[in-house]
Amino acid sequence: MMKTYTLPRLIINLKNVRSNYRELCKRSNGTTVGAVVKDDSYGCGCADVVEALVQEGCTTFFVDYAPCGVIVRQKAPQADIYCLQSLGLDTLDEIKQAHLIPVLGSLEDLQIFKQANLPDIPLAINIETGLNRLGFRPSDIQTLSSEDRAAVKLCLSHLACSSYTYHPLNGQQLQRFAEMKDIFPNAKFTLGASDAFQLGPRYYFDIIRAGANLYGIDTFETNRDYLKQAMHVQAAVLQIADLPTGESVSYGATYKATSPRKIAIIGIGYGDGLPRSLSNGKGKVFYEGHEIPILGRICMDNIICDITDVPNLQTGVLVDVLNDTYTADDMGIDAGTIGYEIISTFGKNKRFKRIVIR
Amino acid sequence: MMKTYTLPRLIINLKNVRSNYRELCKRSNGTTVGAVVKDDSYGCGCADVVEALVQEGCTTFFVDYAPCGVIVRQKAPQADIYCLQSLGLDTLDEIKQAHLIPVLGSLEDLQIFKQANLPDIPLAINIETGLNRLGFRPSDIQTLSSEDRAAVKLCLSHLACSSYTYHPLNGQQLQRFAEMKDIFPNAKFTLGASDAFQLGPRYYFDIIRAGANLYGIDTFETNRDYLKQAMHVQAAVLQIADLPTGESVSYGATYKATSPRKIAIIGIGYGDGLPRSLSNGKGKVFYEGHEIPILGRICMDNIICDITDVPNLQTGVLVDVLNDTYTADDMGIDAGTIGYEIISTFGKNKRFKRIVIR
Q: Which residue of A has its CA nearest to B45?
A: A350
* pLDDT for residue B221: 64
CB distance A273 to A350 below 8 Å: no
On the CB side of B356, how many CA atoms lie within 13 Å of its CA?
13
Q: Which residues of A touch B214 (CB under 8 A)?
A: none
> How would you classify the pairing of strands A231-243 and A318-322?
antiparallel
* pLDDT for residue A221: 64
| B350 in catalytic set | no
In this prediction, residue A133 has a pLDDT band, given cuts at 50, 70 and 90, of very high
- Going by C-alpha positions, the residue among A237, A242, A342, A239 that lies closest to residue A283 is A342
Alpha carbon A201 to its chain centroid, in Å, reads 23
The whole-number average pLDDT for the span A85-103 is: 96
Query: Helices A66-75 and A46-55 sit at what angle, rounded to 10 degrees?
Result: 40
CB distance B76 to B63 below 8 Å: no
pLDDT, tens only, B4-61: 899 999 999 999 999 999 999 999 999 999 999 999 999 999 999 999 999 999 999 9
- pLDDT, chain A, mean: 96
* pLDDT for residue A222: 65
Residue A52, min C-alpha distance to chain B (Å): 21
Within 10 angstroms of residue B30's Cβ, the number of other Cβ atoms is 7
Region(s) of chain A under CATH 3.20.20.10:
14-215
pLDDT, tens only, A285-343: 999 999 999 999 999 999 999 999 998 899 999 999 999 999 999 999 999 999 999 99
Report the residue from A38, A106, A251 with minimal CB separation from B239.
A106
Choosing among 2.40.37.10, 3.40.50.300, 3.20.20.70, 3.30.1390.10, the CATH entry for B230-357 is 2.40.37.10
A353/B90 touch (CB, cutoff 8 Å), yes or no:
yes
Enumerate the active-site residues of A. Answer: 38, 251
Q: What percent of chain A has pLDDT above 90?
A: 95
Region(s) of chain B under CATH 3.20.20.10:
31-215
For residue B131, pLDDT beyond 90: yes
A348/B348 touch (CB, cutoff 8 Å), yes or no:
yes
* pLDDT for residue A219: 72
pLDDT, tens only, A206-236: 999 999 999 999 877 665 789 999 999 999 9
For residue B99, pLDDT beyond 90: yes
* pLDDT for residue B137: 97
A243/B132 touch (CB, cutoff 8 Å), yes or no:
yes
The active-site residue, picked from B114, B181, B251, B256, is: B251
A interface test, pick of B132, B136, B348 with most A CB neighbours within 10 Å:
B132
* pLDDT for residue B219: 72
The whole-number average pLDDT for the span A56-70 is: 98
- Going by C-alpha positions, the residue among B98, B47, B123, B57 that lies closest to residue A350 is B47
The whole-number average pLDDT for the span B224-252 is: 96
For residue A1, pLDDT beyond 60: no
For residue B1, pLDDT beyond 60: no
The whole-number average pLDDT for the span B258-262 is: 98
In this prediction, residue B222 has a pLDDT band, given cuts at 50, 70 and 90, of low
The whole-number average pLDDT for the span B159-163 is: 95
* pLDDT for residue B169: 97
Cα separation, A304 vs A86, whole angstroms = 44
- Going by C-alpha positions, the residue among B215, B255, B201 that lies closest to residue B31 is B201
Within 10 angstroms of residue B155's Cβ, the number of other Cβ atoms is 24
A160/B64 touch (CB, cutoff 8 Å), yes or no:
no
Q: Which residues of B touch A161 (CB under 8 A)?
A: 251-253
A134/B239 touch (CB, cutoff 8 Å), yes or no:
yes
In this prediction, residue B354 has a pLDDT band, given cuts at 50, 70 and 90, of very high
Q: Give me the CATH topology for the region B31-215.
A: TIM Barrel (3.20.20)
Q: Which residues of B touch A38 (CB under 8 A)?
A: 271, 300-301
B6/A115 touch (CB, cutoff 8 Å), yes or no:
no
* pLDDT for residue A3: 86
Q: Which residues of A touch B40 (CB under 8 A)?
A: 350-351
Q: Which residues of A touch B138 (CB under 8 A)?
A: none
Furthest C-alpha separation in chain B: 78
Choosing among 3.90.1150.10, 3.20.20.10, 2.40.50.140, 3.30.70.260, the CATH entry for A14-215 is 3.20.20.10
* pLDDT for residue B225: 83
Residue A324, min C-alpha distance to chain B (Å): 23
- The alpha carbon torsion through A298, A301, A307, A313 (nearest 10 deg) reads 160
CB distance A83 to A101 below 8 Å: yes
On the CB side of A63, how many CA atoms lie within 13 Å of its CA?
30
H-type helices in chain B, by residue range?
Answer: 14-26, 38-42, 46-55, 66-75, 92-97, 107-115, 138-142, 146-151, 168-178, 196-199, 328-335, 339-346
* Spatial CB neighbours of B221, under 8 Å, sequence gap ≥ 6: none
The whole-number average pLDDT for the span B326-342 is: 97
Chains A and B form CB pairs within 8 A to the count of 255
* Spatial CB neighbours of B203, under 8 Å, sequence gap ≥ 6: B159, B162, B170, B174, B191, B192, B196
A interface test, pick of B9, B141, B245, B348 with most A CB neighbours within 10 Å:
B348
Q: What sign does the CA torsion over A335, A337, A340, A344 have? A: negative
Cα separation, A66 vs A81, whole angstroms = 9
Identity at A222, one-letter amino acid code? T
Residue A134, min C-alpha distance to chain B (Å): 7
Residue B95 Cα distances to A240, B71, B91, angstroms: 22, 12, 6
Q: Which residue of A has its CA nearest to B84?
A: A301
- Going by C-alpha positions, the residue among B216, B332, B233 that lies closest to residue B282 is B332
Q: Of how many residues is chain B composed?
A: 358
DSSP string, A213-280: GGGT---SSS--TT---SEEEEEEEEEEEEE-TT-EESGGG-EE-SS-EEEEEES--GGGT--GGGTT
* Spatial CB neighbours of A346, under 8 Å, sequence gap ≥ 6: A10, A43, A231, A233, A272, A273, A274, A322, A352
Q: Is B127 exposed, middle or buried (0-12, 13-18, 19+ CB in 10 A)?
A: buried
Q: Which residues of A touch B42 (CB under 8 A)?
A: 271, 300
* Spatial CB neighbours of B269, under 8 Å, sequence gap ≥ 6: B298, B299, B300, B301, B302, B303
